[in-house]
Copies of this chain bind each other. A is one copy, B any other.
């Protein structure tokens, strides 16, 4: 199988796992359950659970306990998109070609569906306690998930992003990196470190995975900033130069294209080197390379 076939197979596997963990659409609260499932099943690359599974397997993990955490992480990612799309936030009507949750179900149900998914992520992950009662690795995985998703992780990044949009002064490079690190890299870090922790990897290995998660997340975002200047409009599916037109501070506007490309390359290479050192196989390495060097 080539990389793309392998990738498609993994996505299908992960969607099967996800569907198993989604709630049944019944009862007096049926509408919120429908909205939750609609949002999770709206597609997506399933990147975070995929990275978690790769890290788990790389460190020798072979059990079912990873599955509730894979599902939980995708639920958290999905809830953050539902709330991001709300009129009071980014006010988006479409995502991946489908109507956003609040357009289909109304704003009140969309807020509750986001809350419901965040909460259900923790309910789902708590299912791992029943699989391995008293297992400290599961407790540690739980703590990582909660921290990286929260105000000292993803929500922190979303907040800084909102504040930056509301205020007049431009972002500093330090603030931009804070947003990239927390809004994007934090969940990737949680994917890689939870995989390592559940497989029983030692502390040094876990720290390497956290570092690789930072590199991947930030390189991914800088690449986004670079593509807005150098990209191929047809591949991207959006106009080039839109960041500059919107006066949006990016790594390129703050540090220049050359420095952005240099830093992007450094982070990408470091991520691959770290994962190679930890023993990543060819699919895992190819997956990471495809993320950090994407052209769309």
**Residues of A that sit less than 8 Å from B by CB:** 23, 27-29, 31-33, 36, 79, 83, 86-89, 106-109, 111-112, 114-116, 118-120, 122-123, 126, 129-130, 133-136, 139-140, 142-143, 146-147, 149-152, 155-160, 162-163, 166, 175, 178-179, 182
Contacts and interface: CB of A to CB of B under 8 A. Distances in A.
23 contacts: A23-B152, A27-B156, A28-B163, A28-B175, A29-B151, A29-B155, A29-B160, A83-B112, A86-B88, A86-B111, A89-B111, A109-B162, A115-B115, A116-B150, A116-B151, A118-B118, A120-B151, A126-B146, A129-B136, A129-B142, A129-B143, A139-B139, A142-B142
A89 B108 CA distance: 5
A75 to B, nearest CB: 11
Copies, count: 2
A119 B150 contact: yes
Contact of A119 (B111, B126, B130, B149): B149
Nearest to A23: B151
Contacts of A139: 126, 129, 133-134, 139
Contacts of A146: 119, 122-123, 126
Contacts of A129: 136, 139-140, 142-143
Given A123-B143, A126-B143, A156 B32 contact: yes
B111 A155 contact: no
Nearest to A150: B119
A149 to B, nearest CB: 6
Nearest to A89: B108
Most buried by B among A139, A147, A149: A139
A25 to B, nearest CB: 11
Given A118-B118, A129-B139, A146-B123, A108 B162 contact: yes
Contacts of A142: 126, 129, 142
B29 A156 contact: yes
B155 A112 contact: yes
Contact of A83 (B106, B111, B159): B111
Given A119-B150, A119-B151, A134-B136, 16 more contacts: A28-B156, A28-B163, A28-B178, A29-B155, A29-B157, A31-B163, A32-B159, A33-B151, A83-B111, A88-B111, A112-B158, A118-B119, A123-B150, A129-B136, A134-B134, A134-B139
A110 B93 CA distance: 21
A146 B36 CA distance: 16
Contacts of A79: 115
